[in-house]
Amino acid sequence: MPQEAWQLTGSGPDSYERYQVPSVFAPLARLFLKRVPLAPGQRVLDVACGTGIVARQVAPVLGSTGSIVGIELNAAMLDVARQHAPGDGAPVEWRQGDAGSLPCRDAEFDIVLCQQGLQFFPDRPAALREMHRVLKPEGVGICVWRSIEHSPCHLAIAEALRRHVGTDIAQRFRAPFSFGDESFLNRLLADAGYRDVAIETETVARRLLPPEESVPGLLASTPVGPAVAALDEVAREAIIDEVARALSHYRDEYGLTVPQPTYIALARK
Ligand SMILES: C[S@@+](CC[C@H](N)C(=O)[O-])C[C@H]1O[C@@H](n2cnc3c(N)ncnc32)[C@H](O)[C@@H]1O
């Protein structure tokens, strides 16, 4: 099966910003960036920036003397990023581009970041070499989810999709979690020329409203959204019921709090 490029269409980018960013990508960015040696005045690249949550959190740390470039394949994600651009700190330049051929000069950046993008690039070694090319002799930070067995919410949804929509759609939904393990990430970074590679596992506590409210929004903010929207009411309700049952263990007064672990890799050029 070809590499899933995880492209959102129609209202997908707005749904991503509304449902995925507050529940998981913003808290993940806080965990991730705590480990990265960011400092005022740096120039930072955010590869596969999506709707810009990483750049938004980096901007105040770099201050007005710093600068950020956000690169993203999907122009519609960049449109949402522009609407939510950071109000203070380093200015952000949003560029449409492919991680496999970065539209950037050699040694242009102090820090290169990539939060949950590497798993979608068709040629991951080439993308890591590109990030290496545009770095000064400083650092890179990469985040990729652990396999889906460690993320109960996505596992429950993937299983319900397999039963009610089909294996291809379930497979697309699993793509963000299909990267591989820590040793694979380690080897990819070392082979691309990085040194001092250090990989840790962190777990985001993903907070969601009760499944009846959160699962439709979550599905709409992924590439399988249009396939789910085309289902009849009975199938859509069955998916929500099955996910609610599978996640009953994670219910709390808020709705659901579900662990979602990620690898965070830091390395130097
Ligand atoms: C799960 S989102 C993560 C977005 C963002 N980094 C965040 O943390 O919210 C993955 C992003 O990778 C982008 N993407 C996929 N393939 C890409 C490529 N070859 N080059 C650049 N961006 C790509 C997708 O369009 C999508 O916006």
- In this predicted model, what pLDDT tens digit does every residue of 157-173 receive, in sequence order? 999 999 999 999 999 99
Residue 177 CA, ligand 1 centroid: distance in Å: 14
pLDDT at site 1: 57
Does residue 72 line the site of ligand 1, with CB under 6 A?
yes
Is the pLDDT assigned to residue 254 strictly greater than 90? no
Choose which residue among 3, 6, 179 to substitute to test ligand 1 binding: the one with the highest number of ligand atoms within 8 A of its C-beta: 6
- In this predicted model, what pLDDT tens digit does every residue of 58-109 receive, in sequence order? 999 999 999 999 999 999 999 999 999 888 999 999 999 999 999 999 999 9
Q: 186 to each of 4, 156, 193, 195, how far by Cα in Å?
A: 22, 29, 11, 10
Does residue 143 line the site of ligand 1, with CB under 6 A?
no
Does residue 75 line the site of ligand 1, with CB under 6 A?
no
Residue 245 CA, ligand 1 centroid: distance in Å: 31
CA 50 – CA 79 distance, rounded (Å): 10
Average pLDDT, the chain: 96
Tell me the domains of the chain and their CATH numbers: 12-148+178-207+258-268 (3.40.50.150)
The residue nearest atom 4 of ligand 1, judged by CA position, is 50
Task: For helices 211-220 and 152-164, give the axis angle rounded to 10 degrees.
Answer: 80
Displacement of CA 205 from its chain's centroid (Å): 15
Does residue 98 line the site of ligand 1, with CB under 6 A?
yes
- In this predicted model, what pLDDT tens digit does every residue of 216-245 receive, in sequence order? 999 999 999 999 999 999 999 999 999 999
